[in-house]
């Protein structure tokens, strides 16, 4: 039941944050707003849900530390992350990636006052970082992928935050770029933070990030997230993983906020990971690719409409409405017809105008519902563009 | 797998926070450290766990807003809170009471810089409040219960934080005291914050707090918590509930951290509330009272050992070890025998020495395990006291 200070839809589209727009859509028939996994369960996932009472009993009897290690290690291996740490005090299981983010931000704020942040990215990241008092310096995505960071930028900040694959663009930091970036951070003592919440959708992000980070010698933090992949009704965890010595009070701040997550959720995640390893992950990738094709063809041939993220494999897709189009008009009209997507304005946290002509559509939805929603989008866009 | 900077048990007992001590105990046979609900499921609760697959399906099909309202409204009514608000933007469902606490603290820190906080209380409350930069002023529990707050104290702070029933003492703020306190806050524009996480154990805290708060006209926040009552393997929610206008950016900060909790957890809580309303709550009260009697009689007759919270009905019990006793020695020896309880030092956040001679034992545990643990405590205390 949470609403922000702005109450009308129009005001929210202009001034609200993305999560507040996502609230509006929560119980709507055509919610393509949030990036949570809302597709139907596959047959083998249905089977896991049928076993929930046994999973509860198992979770009650097994040591939590064991459930935690198994879920984390198998999740990492599933996504090609073989050099993950298991040492004491380096893996913190959180209720969600945003809780992990809050803990990272609060830890950073005790020791540093500035951070370079990828631009664009989901707005709760800059909002949390600003909320704890950090000064943000934009790190344009194009720059990040093109060349080494400008030394002047690095001299200006004490940490660097990169979302990879990025949200909403889907762009993946290559192993080579990560190596160079981590090297630059190591040289200067800068803390490198990666949010890899959307990694599971894109095998190009399956190279062993932990090996690259460890080899660089930099201080690093990685946020992993199980919440985007499987339709577990938001039973999920976020993992906050750190280099051996970050110089930050992560363990203390973590323990101010939680003792740990539910062992039941850990056991459930463990089962979904197993299922993904036995073919479920490939099935998920084909499903998202299918929904992406469906959306693109449903809007095919509309004047000025384009899909800027041609290479993206993430579970969200940006639609560029073309110059002179207003995403607000589109969103309002879609909203009246119970179809919810997100404006891109808020992703462009340092320069909202850059996002004015684009919207983001969530793809992790039942295909039929996306097909109907895409039909409505076509009608609306045909008039507005 | 989270550990703090201090690694030995001795160092943790002296310097760690309570949650870090609770980590140590997590997978121990005799974990009487944390205040989470770890008793066995009752027969009717077992039945609910048997229905988890159906609950999952129900949660997937029902609107989240409806699940949220039902769970919250029925939880409030169960505990005598009939004047709870349901208006938009006044109830925020969180992953836990500590996440609610973090959101409250971050909201307070945007507008205020000082807070009066009950003393003693669980140390993550002062740690979170300090962590966001607030200056804390101790509000001694005895003072709070004895008379109106000293106007000089109220003039010195912008908000007042009270845990009721308190942890670890179990003391309950009476309706009359709450009325006076809320009146004083209303007069000065002070924000009054109540943490009622342990309310469910004590019918003396079942008077309608929301009616008293609303009638006072003060700005208020209440944190409710389902996490202490039922052995749901930490599937739980914390509710952050506010007066119509707090003047604080609670909705914005909430939406930086979460979109909402799992509808599955809401549906599960809904069922546990129903079960509690049909006799389960009485059963729980008798269970805790029984475990309290067991602990007290197990230690009966030991020289200098006493139970300072004679009136407490909460799920934790303090043991006073008597003057000149060191809780550290007791904790170390218990720890060697795999029995974990908490020192009281850390609860006394403004003056740790006050807590040096006491430990806290969690009672929401299987009776057999508590009986065995109490036997070990008796042996150790007989030597150490």
Residue A217 in this model has a pLDDT that exceeds 80: yes
- Of A260, A265, A270, A238, the C-alpha closest to A56 is A265
Q: Which residues pair with A225 in a beta bridge?
A: A238
User: Mean pLDDT, chain B, as a whole number?
Assistant: 95
3-state DSSP helix/strand/coil % of chain B, to nearest 5: 50, 15, 35
Reported as a single tens digit per residue, the pLDDT across B285-313 is: 999 999 999 999 999 999 999 999 999 99
Q: Note every long-range contact of B323-328, with CB atoms under 8 Å and residues 24 or more positions apart, other chains counting.
A: B323/B357, B324/B357, B325/B357, B325/B384, B325/B385, B326/B356, B326/B357, B326/B384, B327/B13, B327/B355, B327/B356, B327/B357, B327/B358, B327/B359, B328/B10, B328/B13, B328/B14
**Chain-chain contact of A1 with B88 (C-beta, under 8 angstroms):** yes
Q: How many CB atoms lie within 10 A of CB B80?
A: 15
Residue A326 in this model has a pLDDT that exceeds 80: no
A40 touches chain B (CB under 8 A): no
Q: What is the mean pLDDT of residues A54-77?
A: 97
| Chain B contact set for A65 (CB, 8 A) | 1, 26-27
SS3 A194: strand
Question: Residue B35 has which token pair?
Answer: 């205040």
A59 touches chain B (CB under 8 A): yes
Location of structure tokens 């930490």: B234
B residues 227-246 lying closer than 8 A (beta carbon) to A: 232-236
- Measured in angstroms, the CA of A52 and the nearest CA of chain B are apart by 6
Which residue of A256, A261, A272, A338 to mutate against B (max B Cβ within 10 Å)? Answer: A256
Residue A6 in this model has a pLDDT that exceeds 80: no
Q: What is the mean pLDDT of residues A194-200?
A: 98
Integer Cα distance of B287 and B171 in angstroms? 19
B308 touches chain A (CB under 8 A): no
A residues 191-210 lying closer than 8 A (beta carbon) to B: none
Reported as a single tens digit per residue, the pLDDT across A16-50 is: 999 999 988 888 889 999 999 999 999 999 999 99
Q: Residues A300-330, buried b or exposed e (16+ Cβ, 10 A)?
A: eebeebebebeebbbbbbbbbbeeebebbbb
Contact A319, A361 (CB under 8 A): yes
Location of structure tokens 């342990």: B198
B263 touches chain A (CB under 8 A): yes
Q: pLDDT-based confidence at A2, cuts 50/70/90?
A: low
**Chain-chain contact of B233 with A65 (C-beta, under 8 angstroms):** no
Q: pLDDT-based confidence at B326, cuts 50/70/90?
A: confident
Helical H segments across chain B, by residue range = 9-15, 18-25, 43-50, 52-61, 64-78, 97-111, 124-131, 141-146, 151-156, 175-188, 209-216, 250-257, 263-275, 281-298, 327-336, 367-384
Nearest CA in chain B to A20: B255
Location of structure tokens 């599955």: B264
Question: Residue A379 has which token pair?
Answer: 């009608």
Reported as a single tens digit per residue, the pLDDT across A257-306 is: 999 999 999 999 999 999 999 999 999 999 999 999 999 999 999 999 99
Check residue A385 and give its pLDDT: 61
Residue A115 in this model has a pLDDT that exceeds 90: yes
| Residue B195 dihedral angles phi and psi, to the nearest 5° | -105, 110
Q: pLDDT-based confidence at B385, cuts 50/70/90?
A: low
Integer Cα distance of A167 and A363 in angstroms? 13
Give the lowest-confidence range in A24-38, A206-220, A319-333.
A319-333
Q: pLDDT-based confidence at B382, cuts 50/70/90?
A: very high
Residue A127 in this model has a pLDDT that exceeds 90: yes
Contact B227, B100 (CB under 8 A): no
Reported as a single tens digit per residue, the pLDDT across B98-127 is: 999 999 999 999 999 999 999 999 999 999
Check residue B3 and give its pLDDT: 52
Residue A218 in this model has a pLDDT that exceeds 90: yes
| Chain A contact set for B100 (CB, 8 A) | none
Check residue A7 and give its pLDDT: 60
- Of A385, A340, A337, the C-alpha closest to A365 is A340
Q: pLDDT-based confidence at A10, cuts 50/70/90?
A: confident
Reported as a single tens digit per residue, the pLDDT across B129-169 is: 999 999 999 999 999 999 999 999 999 999 999 999 999 99
The length of chain A in residues reads 385
Check residue B29 and give its pLDDT: 82
3-state DSSP helix/strand/coil % of chain A, to nearest 5: 50, 15, 35
Reported as a single tens digit per residue, the pLDDT across B359-371 is: 999 999 999 999 9
Nearest to B22 among A92, A127, A259 (CB): A259
Nearest to B235 among A19, A102, A262 (CB): A262
The length of chain B in residues reads 385
Between the alpha carbon of residue B288 and those of residues A158, B228, B293, the distances in Å are 51, 12, 9
Nearest to B259 among A19, A253, A265 (CB): A19
Check residue B176 and give its pLDDT: 98
Q: Is the whole model's pTM more than 0.90, yes or no?
A: yes
Integer Cα distance of B232 and A59 in angstroms? 11
Q: What is the mean pLDDT of residues A143-165?
A: 97
- Of B331, B277, B221, B283, the C-alpha closest to B76 is B277
Check residue A11 and give its pLDDT: 81
Q: Which residues pair with B69 in a beta bridge?
A: none
B60 touches chain A (CB under 8 A): yes
Question: Residue B55 has which token pair?
Answer: 């609950």
Check residue B323 and give its pLDDT: 79
Compute the C-alpha angle A8/A307/A11, nearest 5°.
10
Q: Which residues pair with A116 in a beta bridge?
A: A137, A160
Nearest to B19 among A90, A255, A265 (CB): A255
Say which DSSP state A221 is in: E
Check residue A24 and give its pLDDT: 87
Between the alpha carbon of residue A120 and those of residues A23, A111, A132, A153, A335, the distances in Å are 22, 25, 20, 17, 24
Contact B81, B208 (CB under 8 A): yes
Compute the C-alpha angle A237/B109/B237, nearest 5°.
35
Helical H segments across chain A, by residue range = 9-15, 18-25, 43-50, 52-61, 64-78, 97-111, 124-131, 141-146, 151-156, 175-188, 209-216, 250-257, 263-275, 281-298, 327-336, 367-384
Q: State ipTM.
A: 0.96
**Chain-chain contact of A124 with B257 (C-beta, under 8 angstroms):** yes
**Top-confidence residue, B283 or A385:** B283
Residue A243 in this model has a pLDDT that exceeds 70: yes
Q: What is the mean pLDDT of residues B192-209?
A: 98
Residue B240 in this model has a pLDDT that exceeds 60: yes
Q: What is the 3-state secondary structure (H, E, C) of A94-129?
A: ECCHHHHHHHHHHHHHHHCCEEEEEECCCCHHHHHH
| Chain B contact set for A2 (CB, 8 A) | 89, 91-93, 251, 254-255, 260
Integer Cα distance of B243 and B239 in angstroms? 13
Nearest CA in chain A to B39: A60
**Chain-chain contact of B251 with A20 (C-beta, under 8 angstroms):** yes
Nearest CA in chain A to B56: A49
Check residue A325 and give its pLDDT: 72
SS3 B194: strand
Residues whose CB falls within 8 Å of the CB of residue A354, separated by 6 or more in sequence, listed in order: A120, A348
């Amino acid at each position: 039941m949470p609403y922000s200070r702005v109450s009308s839809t129009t005001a929210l589209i202009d001034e609200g944050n993305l999560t507040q727009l996502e609230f509006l859509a929560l119980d709507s028939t055509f919610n393509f707003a949030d990036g949570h996994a809302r597709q139907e369960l596959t047959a083998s996932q249905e089977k896991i849900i049928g076993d929930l009472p046994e999973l509860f009993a198992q979770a009650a009897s097994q040591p939590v530390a064991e459930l935690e290690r198994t879920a984390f290690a198998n999740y990492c291996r599933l996504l090609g992350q073989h050099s993950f740490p298991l040492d004491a005090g380096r893996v913190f299981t959180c209720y969600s990636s945003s809780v992990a983010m809050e803990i990272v931000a609060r830890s950073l704020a005790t020791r540093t006052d500035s951070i370079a942040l990828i631009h664009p990215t989901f707005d709760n990241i800059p909002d949390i970082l600003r909320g704890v008092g950090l000064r943000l310096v934009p790190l344009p995505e194009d720059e990040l992928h093109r060349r080494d960071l400008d030394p002047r930028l690095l001299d200006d900040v004490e940490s660097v935050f990169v979302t990879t694959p990025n949200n909403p663009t889907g762009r993946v930091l290559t192993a080579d770029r990560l190596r160079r970036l981590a090297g630059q951070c190591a040289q200067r003592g800068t803390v490198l933070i990666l949010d890899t919440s959307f990694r599971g959708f894109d095998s190009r992000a399956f190279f062993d990030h932990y090996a690259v980070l460890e080899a660089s010698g930099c201080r690093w933090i990685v946020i992993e997230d199980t919440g985007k992949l499987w339709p577990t009704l938001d039973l999920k965890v976020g993992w906050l993983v750190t280099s051996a010595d970050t110089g930050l009070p992560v363990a203390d701040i973590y323990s101010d906020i939680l003792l740990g997550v539910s062992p039941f959720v850990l056991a459930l995640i463990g089962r979904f990971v197993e299922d993904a390893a036995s073919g479920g992950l490939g099935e998920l990738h084909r499903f998202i690719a299918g929904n992406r094709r469906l959306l693109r063809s449903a809007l095919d041939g509309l004047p000025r409409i384009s899909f800027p993220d041609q290479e993206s494999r993430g579970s969200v897709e940006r639609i560029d409405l073309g110059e002179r189009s207003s995403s607000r008009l589109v969103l309002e009209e879609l909203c009246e017809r119970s179809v919810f997507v997100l404006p891109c304005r808020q992703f462009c946290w340092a320069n909202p105008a850059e996002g004015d002509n684009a919207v983001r559509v969530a793809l992790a939805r039942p295909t039929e519902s996306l097909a109907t929603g895409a039909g409505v989008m076509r009608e609306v866009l045909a008039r507005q563009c």
